[in-house]
Amino acid sequence: MEHSLAERARKSFPGGTLGNFDAGVFITRGKGSRVWDHDGKEYLDYLMGSGPLILGHSHPEVIEAVASHLDNGTTFMANNPIALELAEEIINAVTCAEQVRFLSSGSEADMYAVRLARAHTGKDKIIKFEGGYHGMGSEAQMSLAPTKLANFPQAVPDSAGIQESIRRDTLVAPFNDASFLESLLDEYEGKIAAVFMEPFQRVIPPEEGFLDSVRALCNKHDALLIFDEIVTGFRFAYGGAQEVYGVVPDICTLGKIIGGGFPLAAITGKKDIMDHFDKSIVGNDKWLMMMGTLSGNPIASIAGLKTLEILQRKGSYDLLYSHGERIMNIYHKYLDLSGLPYQVVGHPTLFDIVFADKTVKNYRDVFFSNSSRNLTFNKVLRECGLFKTPTKLYPSLVLTEEDFELTEEAVRQATEAITSVH
């Protein structure tokens, strides 16, 4: 008798999954705005591979670009002209990017960003914001989603296996609180290598002036500012959050969209900082070793280049924003009628619902929100055919009228469910 996929997965994958995100289904195919599971059920996809598929699944131009290069080879671990062209386009688009190094994952990019900041400043301590996501590195796994809240700036490990020294050198601040950040920089004067942040933390927007304050404080205290734009890069605008908010970091990490659905990420920054990757300039003592078997491979690079080319076409971002705003309005339409406290938190290109009665400014506002209501709401959305995480919705450029109708009916039913239960 054939074992189910779930049974086989439990045998081969720890926890039965590829990672900590368990969608509860096996996806076998994706096209446009839709995906299909192993049983043939169709879903409207608002996960989009966790963000990289802004053009939708299997975009014909991306597929054609990738196919055109397969006969030339898939990876070389050597310089290739396609990766160079992609790097040049990133430098053209991203304000802080004077040079680029490619990697295969956002976690790697964020790990190197922290190491680069330490190499450049000669300091050890990093400040991050509670609830900020920066991949799977040790510093990143500090106070990402703590279930037990600690007094700031104490870091709370979110994973086993992280040494105590990492906790001591990682200081944690509340997002959107420039006054606390200033006090922390004052207290640890001369010891902070960098402030490491998502300029738009998960779905939580920066308050007006907050990013400017962070930039000014980093300048004052001789600390680098690192923007993790793996999510916001090429999503909020072609130039990412830097373009939208007008605040320029010293180092920026990118991923997701730049690979067009293939594994690719990048670390970018000002040349004098990126020089630490060049031994001929900085010498042995300040050189930061970096290499990766698949970094900058031509297949991921050509998929990314084609994706960026399409995003530059007239009206692309207007369309993406209009899609997001339309879904946000659907949420408001039904949740307003429910009488329940809620917030649509985020940006038209990236948002979700938080069931709270006050403006969501930081991780703790989400932590103290009604999580059981959120679980019920998302459970019904899934039953109605919407595929997303419990914390985020990614609109894409390929949504159709039928998709919006399905979304509206799913939100109506989900709102009805939480109104009757809660």
Catalytic positions are 133, 228, 256
Question: Length of the chain in residues, anyone?
Answer: 422
The type of residue at 179 is S
Q: How far is CA 19 from CA 9, 15, 387, in A?
A: 12, 8, 17
196 - beta bridge partners?
128, 226
The burial class, CB within 10 Å (0-12 / 13-18 / 19+), for 243 is: middle
CA atoms of 95 and 244, how far apart (whole Å): 11
The three-point CA angle 12-17-20 to 5° equals: 140
Centre a 10 Å sphere on the Cβ of residue 104 and count the other Cβ atoms it contains. Answer: 20
303's CB contacts (< 8 A; 6+ apart) are 62, 65, 66, 259, 260, 261, 262, 264
CA atoms of 384 and 353, how far apart (whole Å): 17
The three-point CA angle 311-314-315 to 5° equals: 85
